[in-house]
Amino acid sequence: MNRHMNYGIYKDIKKDMRDGRLMLHDKVWVDRHEDYIIFYTYRREESADLEEMTVQELLNLTTKKATR
């Protein structure tokens, strides 16, 4: 069965871009499991082990279909 596992994250990113908080070249920090995004933040958390990505990279990842 194919489901889009990252649709909620995609909607949040697009909303943050519309509201002016993010632009495509901005850096975000992402917690993910394989191709499934758990959450993202645009504020660096020193204690967290997060992956750094650009907003464009995150959008590219969230628009892919995930197979579960």
CA 1 to chain centre: 23
CA separation for the pair 29, 40 (Å, rounded): 6
Q: Which residue range forms the structural domain that includes residue 33? A: 2-67
Residue 53 has a pLDDT of 93
Whole-structure pTM value: 0.79
Strand order in the sheet with 51-54: 36-41, 27-33, 51-54
Residue 49 has a pLDDT of 84
pLDDT in 10s for each residue of the chain, 68 residues: 345 678 899 999 999 999 999 999 999 999 988 888 898 998 877 767 899 999 999 999 888 754 44
Number of separate domains in the chain: 1
CA separation for the pair 5, 17 (Å, rounded): 20
